[in-house]
Amino acid sequence: MTALIALEGLTKAYPGVVANDDVSLSIAPGEVHALLGENGAGKSTLVKMIYGLVKPDAGHMQMNGTAFAPAEPRAARAAGVGMVFQHFSLFDALSVAENIALGMEHPPAMRTLSQQIRDVSDTYGLPLSPDRTVGDLSAGERQRVEIIRCLLQEPKLLIMDEPTSVLTPQEVEILFKTLRKLSAEGTAILYISHKLEEIRSLCDSATILRLGRVVGHCTPSETSARDMAEMMVGTTLKTPMRAGKTPGDVVLELTELSAKSPSAFGMPLREISVQVRRGEVLGIGGVAGNGQDELLAALSGETLSKRGMVGFKGNDVGLLGPTARRALGILSAPEERLGHAAVPDMSLTENAMLTGAAREGLDRGGILDWAGARRFAETIIKTFDVRTPGPANAARSLSGGNLQKFVIGREVLQRPELLVVNQPTWGVDASAAAAIRQALLDLAENGTAVVVISQDLDELMEISDRFAALNEGRLSEPSPAQGLTVDEIGLMMGGAHGMEVAHV
């Protein structure tokens, strides 16, 4: 079979780092090809070169046997490359059809376009009404908008960057059916994901990148997930260990917690009741946008709640702000690293001060102890193996995984009584993720109550004692994590959001 697209010796260097070094791979028509690698392995740079967002320093690409060097995404799209990004670029206030029209070179009349959208969504089992407002859609449905936007251009190669991180297991199944159908029709798919089991069930072949180089190829269905992970990381992986333990006194008690969402397209919390005990890890799953951010804000003190809703060791803390709660030992780490958990343009020292002021004694009657903050930042960097030249560097300059280690480390080192984390290992590579999970388990071991909000079910199953799911702002009844099946979890997460199974 001749290759649809062939990359040869692609090299791209940024100041201080070689993102891609002599990368070659080829994809045949209809092939589902996985691209694997840790954070910073160069996956994004590679697909950006194919999509024309980045120009390679050396090497060349061929498409159907002819030279292919897209100067911009428009050229790549014209050549038949479509890309679904991890982060959606949609306007909440516009309808599905309007959003799709915005991304097209020559949008047809709205009515024609709506018909085309219906046709494509029927053909590929992606139910979606063109007239709905994007702001009302679930994450899975938004992703369908992006996919349909690509499919309307009839691509020969579809690039998907971490498409399943926002989907329920049932939605993943539907997506996979769509992708398999596309592949059967001859569309090649380049699939980027951290979830190795998915890759094993979906992909025909895989290329593994490490530090910008190709370190191996494999056939995913014949390789175990562990082997693939070890090829990515280059070392043997440690599985976080936890000892059996008996939970202690109730630390956190939520009683019918309801809260409005601060943003217009957010999800209000509805009557959440749950208890978390000393030494216990409560895992909260659910698809993004079902109240995770709002729950974290209600626990951290960013949004205040009514009397009697949030109890901490028998005291009502619902009316206390973040600083007062920190002083009591309630610490948290939000999902969004840049701009929420950390200030992008400030140094790590200043970011250590951000939440460490109260508990680390860095605030002496209003006068800040910067030398102390610097020492604290250095401790975090050392303990959590944050790779950065030093605490004077800006948070923005760190890679996502490293910053995440810093953010989690900052809270863990403050000896919390209750720690709430949202997406603790989002975008973090396997070995760093393992280290973070281990740190959370160690905390629980020492008597901290830990609430982990995450969309990574494998992670939740690995570290939680009990599991509950957020759906439409409601929390399901927690049940012991051990022995839960994927189907049960999927149902707790609200199934596939009322969508029919694709008629493929």
Partner 1 sequence: MFFGGLLFVALGKDPVAAIRTIFYEPLFGQYAFYYRPQLLVKGAPLVLIAIGLSLGFKAGIWNIGAEGQYIMGALFGAGVGLAFYPYEAWFVFPLMVAAGAFGGWIWAMIPAFLKVRFGTNEILVSLMLVYVAEQFLASMSLGLMKNPEGFGFPGSRNLQQYESAFNADLIEGSGMHWGVVAALIAVIFAYVLLSKHRLGFAIRVTGEAPRAARFSGVNPVRLVLFCMGMSGLLAGLAGMFEVSGPAGQVTIDFNVGYGFTAIIVAFLGRLHPVGILLAGGLMALTYIGGDIAQSQLGLPAAAIQVFQGMLLFFLLALDMLTHYRLRFGTAEVV
Nearest-10 Cα torsion for 170, 171, 172, 177: 100
The residue type at 85: F
CB of 347 to partner 1, least distance (A): 11
Q: Does 346 bind partner 1 (CB under 8 A)?
A: yes
- The answer to the question of residue 366 lying near partner 1 (CB under 8 A) is yes
Q: According to CB under 8 A, which one of 24, 89, 112, 221 is a site residue for partner 1?
A: 89
Contact 5, 61 (CB under 8 A): yes
Does position 300 interact with partner 1 (CB under 8 A)? The reply is yes
Alpha-carbon gap, residue 111 to 275, rounded angstroms = 52
DSSP 218: E
User: Shortest approach of partner 1 to residue 433 CB, angstroms?
Assistant: 23
Residue that is written with structure tokens 């008996």 in the block: 246
Instruction: State the minimum distance, in angstroms, from the CB of residue 357 to partner 1.
Output: 7
Stretch in the footprint of partner 1 (CB under 8 A) among 110-118, 135-143, 358-366, 473-481: 358-366
Q: Which two tokens stand for residue 461?
A: 């199953």
Which residue lies nearer to partner 1 by CB, 84 or 231? 84
Closest CB to partner 1 among residues 14, 184: 14
Quick one: which of 55, 60, 74, 111 contacts partner 1 (CB under 8 A)?
A: 74
Phi, psi of 104 (to 5 degrees): -100, 155
Q: Under the criterion CB under 8 A, does residue 58 sit at the interface with partner 1? A: no
392 binds partner 1 (CB under 8 A): no
- Exposure pattern of 101-128 as b/e (b: 16+ CB <10 Å)? bebeeeeeeeeebbebbbebbeebbbbb
Choose the stretch contacting partner 1; rule: CB under 8 A; options: 54-62, 188-196, 241-249, 351-359: 351-359
Report if residue 49 touches partner 1, rule: CB under 8 A: no
Q: How far is the CB of 355 from partner 1 (least distance, A)?
A: 6
Q: Is 410 in the site for partner 1 (CB under 8 A)?
A: no
Tokens of 449: 């109550």
Cα–chain center distance at 269: 22
10 Å CB burial of residue 74 (0-12, 13-18, 19+) is exposed
Using rule CB under 8 A, residue 339 touches partner 1 = yes
Copy the structure tokens of residue 446: 């020492």
Residues that bind partner 1 (CB under 8 A): 53, 72-74, 83, 85, 89, 102-103, 300-302, 321-324, 326, 332, 334, 336, 338-346, 350, 353-355, 357-358, 363, 366-368, 370
